[in-house]
A and B are shown apart, each in its own frame.
Chain A
Amino acid sequence: MSTLAYTVSDSRVMLRRNLKHQLRYPSMTLMLIGMPIVLLLLFVYVFGGQLGAGLGVHQGRGAYLDYVVPGLMLVTVAAAVQGTSIMVAMDMTGGIIDRFRTMAIARASVLTGHVLGSFIQTLAAMGILIGVAFALGFRSAGGALAWLAVLGLLALIAFAWIWLAVALGLAAKSVETASNTPMILFLLVFLSSGFVRTNTMPVGLRQFAEYQPFSPMVDTVRGLLTGAPVGDHAIVAIAWSIGIAIASYLWAIRLYNRRRAADPT
């Protein structure tokens, strides 16, 4: 077999291992998939009446459902990548990583397995969220092409945040740290245009909200789903995603290779 064939084969083995881990650790997997659903129900049925009243032209709980679904799609990504950090940190703090490193396997396959596994988990969680949203009465004005664009963009965004989560998992000294740091992503979605319009926020916060990556991501998805013009949000969202993906990938690879030199036990 060629080097490429080995890389593909090893990555597939690692992906299968990662998916098995997700099934064997159901409490975490279900929590990560279930959290966005719980938030959806909470925001639509508890807060939705009041929040929907402030939306302007189309008002009410139903309108808020349409408004908040793009935000929750990003929450879904943020929740899923928390699992990525935990899984990566579990591997790195356990003994098995040393075994992999003393074997003649494609070096990157360990990380590739995590990235692909998390990607599949994120897509599954996204599918469930969209299904529940439709069951609650969510309707989209966007056509098939718009949906395709939404899924493509969400995939790109997921890819970027997953690599960041991999790096955070590698940087973490313990599994506990790894499960906490990605919470920042979670918070960032709340501090974006995901749940309320940024123009209702006080000035400093509003500026932060408008210039952080989640807002253009949410705005692009929302624009595509409601049929409203997307403007330059799409370019900004894509640029953020590619930038985060590349920076995180380089950081992760550096951390992964550096671990060889450390550890004087």
Chain B
Amino acid sequence: MTGRPGMRGIVATDVCKSFGNNLVLDKVSLAVDEGTIFALLGPNGAGKTTIVRILSTLIQADSGDMRIAGHDVVTDPDGVRALIGVTGQFSAVDNLLTGTENLQLMADLRHLSPDAGRRRVAELLEQFDLTDAADNLLSTYSGGMRRRLDLAMTLVGQPRVIFLDEPTTGLDPRSRLTMWEIVRELAAAGVTILLTTQNLDEADQLAGRIAVLDQGRIVAEGTPEELKNRIPGGHVRLQFAGPDSLRQAAGLLPASTADNDRLVLKVPADGTVDSLRQLLDGLHQEGIAAERVSIHTSDLDDVFLAVTGSHVVHGLEAGGSDVESTQEGVAAR
């Protein structure tokens, strides 16, 4: 019933959760194919950790249907627990034990035979480059080592579905790259991975699909490319010397948005040389002098800001001035 190609590793439908009067998840639905990486992207407090805690059986949803590799999270939590591994934001390691003992603890609790347990422990120590520190107490481990051990502990039982809640937060760039490499290898080996992150680059680098979660709702979903295409062409940023020239330019370019404080005008553009030349020629003919010009191609940052609603919207949403959209952003909170 599981393990067939095209099977869903994780399916969540209309998941709702409130803490008191605070609605944390509002009909969140997501589906992750087996052996793929799905990134849940969102600012602090968006509900990322809550959905992970619900799907990993730690807390119960108020409503909704959740299945992990076909097992219902509500009616068969132990069936789910036997299949999943969770590495949370806060290191779930035992500080009074050594690296080996931590892994051995997991092997014992996964009911591996003594031989199989020892083999698996040695294998993971090797894979995660922890062999040298294996017999040291965790108090001597660095942040990166603890995170690696944390993930290694999650992998002792060879889970089919893994939840990684902000796995690289607080890691140095080198440790982050190592972690990314490990995550990619896991997915290549057929493990389904749900990853939460605030880091757009991380989602872009790792995930086949991304959902943007904001204030408990999924506000955008798709492949990284699909999401980037939602902001066509990016924009040209013009810096002016004074408010007068800014006002003139804004009058000339109705699709643009002006930032009166910074004396900046953002003009939607497709990034071609012709369109840029046309824009600058137009300004020149009107005798409007721009001080600086920079070209901004769309990346996930734009998508993130555009769909999470707590930002100053640029030219995409034509007509909306900066002041108005800022107020909308505030009101939406």
Contacts and interface: CB of A to CB of B under 8 A. Distances in A.
Contacts of B90: 94-95, 98
Contacts of B81: 102-104
Interface stretch (B105-113, B170-178, B217-225): B105-113
B29 interface: no
Contacts of B331: none
B92 interface: yes
Interface string A1-42: 100001001100100010011001100000000000000000
Contacts of A102: 56-58, 81, 84-86
B93 interface: yes
A231 B22 CA distance: 59
Kindly name the residue among A6, A24, A102, A263 whose own CB sees the greatest number of chain B CB atoms within 10 A.
A102
B109 A105 contact: yes
Contacts of A13: 105, 108-109
Interface residues of B, number: 39
Given A95-B92, A102-B57, A260-B59, A6 B111 contact: yes
A216 to B, nearest CB: 38
Interface string B80-101: 0110111011111111110001
Given A20-B101, A98-B86, A261 B60 contact: yes
Contact of A260 (B50, B60, B93): B60
Contacts of A202: none
Contacts, number: 73
B58 A17 contact: no
Task: Output the residue of B53, B56, B60, B85 with the most chain A CB within 10 A.
Answer: B53
B97 A24 contact: yes
Contacts of A265: 49, 89
A98 B60 CA distance: 14
Nearest to A17: B105
A96 B85 CA distance: 13
A168 B90 CA distance: 24
Interface in B101-158: 101, 105-106, 108-111, 137, 153-154, 157
Q: Choose among A17, A25, A261 the residue with the greatest number of B CB atoms under 10 Å from its CB.
A: A17
B301 interface: no
Interface string A102-142: 11110000000000000000000000000000000000000
B24 interface: yes
Interface residues of A, number: 26
B167 to A, nearest CB: 13
B58 A101 contact: yes
Contact of B59 (A10, A96, A104, A263): A263
B58 A98 contact: yes
B143 to A, nearest CB: 14
A234 to B, nearest CB: 40
A9 B111 contact: yes
A10 B19 CA distance: 32
Contact of B97 (A17, A100, A103): A17
A252 to B, nearest CB: 19
A13 B157 CA distance: 16
Most buried by B among A99, A260, A263: A99
A87 to B, nearest CB: 10
Contacts of A24: 96-97, 137
B88 A21 contact: no
A145 B50 CA distance: 58
Interface in B39-91: 49-50, 53, 56-60, 78-79, 81-82, 84-86, 88-91
A145 B91 CA distance: 51
A264 interface: yes
A6 B53 CA distance: 25
Contact of A99 (B22, B86, B96, B97): B86
Given A102-B57, A260-B58, A95 B109 contact: no
Given A104-B81, A104-B82, A21 B105 contact: no
Given A17-B105, A260-B58, A264-B50, A95 B93 contact: yes
Interface of A: 1, 6, 9-10, 13, 17, 20-21, 24-25, 94-96, 98-105, 260-261, 263-265
Given A17-B105, A95-B91, 5 more contacts: A95-B90, A100-B109, A102-B57, A102-B86, A103-B110
